[in-house]
Every structure is written in C-alpha cells, then in structure tokens.
Chains A and B, each alone.
Chain A
Amino acid sequence: EAGVAQSPRYKIIEKRQSVAFWCNPISGHATLYWYQQILGQGPKLLIQFQNNGVVDDSQLPKDRFSAERLKGVDSTLKIQPAKLEDSAVYLCASSLVRGQRGGRKDTQYFGPGTRLTVL
C-alpha cells in the first residue's frame, strides 16, 4: 500500500512570510497527525484529526499555525507569519482508528516530512 505522502520536501522562506504544507494519509486511515520536529529533538504533536474533526490541538500555536482536513482525507498545515524558531521538520502521520487497541490500528505511519528553513 502507498505510504503517507507529504509535499513539499523542502521549503526555505524568510521570516514573516507564509507557508503551507500538504499531507495525504494512507488510504482508509481515519486519524491524521501533524508533528513538529526541531533539530536534535523528538517529534512534538501539533494537532490530531479524527476524520475531519480536531481531536487535540492543545500544542498548536494558534496565533500563527492553522490546519484543516476538510474532507477527512488530505490535510494542510499553514504558518502565517513564520518566525525563525519555526525552522523544523514537519511530519505527518496517520493511523487507522483513534483509540483502538491491538494490531495495526495502534500504529502511526509517518511520511518523509517537510524540512522548513526560516531565514
């Protein structure tokens, strides 16, 4: 099966500019996650969707970050305006069903990420 797709793979922008990232999860996966991975750190969850609804966005800086998953399939993450500290890799992941135990349903599958550099 096809994996999680993300684009672009790399993006360089200047501070105060806007940027958007796109993610297409594995077909049939209801849950979609966006993570921020700053160099030298583990991924940090920004937002979690179940179908087209937000489950958890407690760690999303809502003054500049926004995300949507309008049709419950692909998703976009936007930063407006960007700051220097937003330089990171943005990872998208998907899983079958939120909150299910056992088997493949518990596993999050990650895309290759988008490396953002803010100058």
Chain B
Amino acid sequence: AQSVTQLGSHVSVSEGALVLLRCNYSSSVPPYLFWYVQYPNQGLQLLLKYTSAATLVKGINGFEAEFKKSETSFHLTKPSAHMSDAAEYFCAVSHNNNDMRFGAGTRLTVKP
C-alpha cells in the first residue's frame, strides 16, 4: 500500500522567505507524486507532479519539488513566499493515477 506523510500541519513564513513543505512517501512500486493547493472554500488545484521523468519538477506559481528516491521524499519549495501563497497544501501519491492517497495537509501562513 502507498501513503504519504506531511511533516508539520502548520508552517509560517515571512513574506519573501523560503517556503519548504515536507512530504515523505511510501510505495512498493515506482510512484506518481503530486502537490495540490487548496484555497479556502475551493477545490484542489494541481501545483506539480512527478511521473518518473526529471527528478526536479517545476510547477505553477514558482513552486518546485525534487524527487529523492534515497530519502523517499518529495518536498515542495518556493524561493520567496508571497502573501497569496497562504493556503493548504496536500502531497499525494498514486500508482498510475489509481488509488491516489493524500497526506493530511500543511497549512501555510505568510506573515507580512
């Protein structure tokens, strides 16, 4: 069975600071990995995905994530936080787009 663990249910950064949201996965087969963002009262929007191509994946809004097999990690980063990045972020793992499993989420707060 596959699963993800998001370390830290809440992360707070200052505007302009580095954003680092942590995700570790468990999968018995090569995984597909995703990061989604959810703004209040909205559905999930795909930020980026890893599907066994380049290990450094660039997404929308300046976010990127690096797949590290040795560490079973897929951490999400952004060099400079913006106020509009405040939202809930979910890491997810699936096998070939079936049976997607989401982490519990990390709420990002950006302080002015």
A109 to B43, CA, bound (A): 9
Residue of A nearest to B36 (CB): A110
Interface residues in A75-119 (C-beta closer than 8 Å to B): 91, 93, 95, 98-102, 105-113, 115
Residues of B within 8 A of A4 (CB): 43
A42 to B107, CA, bound (A): 12
Q: How far is the CB of A75 from chain B (nearest CB, A)?
A: 15
Are the C-beta atoms of B98 and A107 separated by less than 8 Å? no
Interface string of B73-94 (1 = CB under 8 A from A): 0000000000000000010100
Is B51 among interface residues, defined by CB-CB distance under 8 A?
yes
A95 to B46, CA, bound (A): 12
Interface size on B, residues (CB 8 A): 23
A110 to B102, CA, bound (A): 14
Are the C-beta atoms of A45 and B43 separated by less than 8 Å? no
Are the C-beta atoms of B97 and A112 separated by less than 8 Å? no
Known: A43-B44, A56-B99. A106 touches B90 (CB 8 A): no
Are the C-beta atoms of B43 and A113 separated by less than 8 Å? yes
Known: A4-B43, A41-B105, A42-B105. A106 touches B99 (CB 8 A): no
A6 to B44, CA, bound (A): 13
Residues of B within 8 A of A105 (CB): 97
A55 to B99, CA, bound (A): 10
Interface residues in A31-60 (C-beta closer than 8 Å to B): 31, 33, 40-45, 48, 55-56
Residue of A nearest to B96 (CB): A99
Are the C-beta atoms of B51 and A42 separated by less than 8 Å? no
Are the C-beta atoms of A101 and B90 separated by less than 8 Å? no
Q: How far is the CB of B106 from chain A (nearest CB, A)?
A: 10
Are the C-beta atoms of B99 and A112 separated by less than 8 Å? no
Is B104 among interface residues, defined by CB-CB distance under 8 A?
yes
Closest 9 CB pairs between A and B? A42-B102, A110-B43, A110-B44, A112-B43, A106-B97, A43-B102, A99-B96, A111-B43, A42-B104
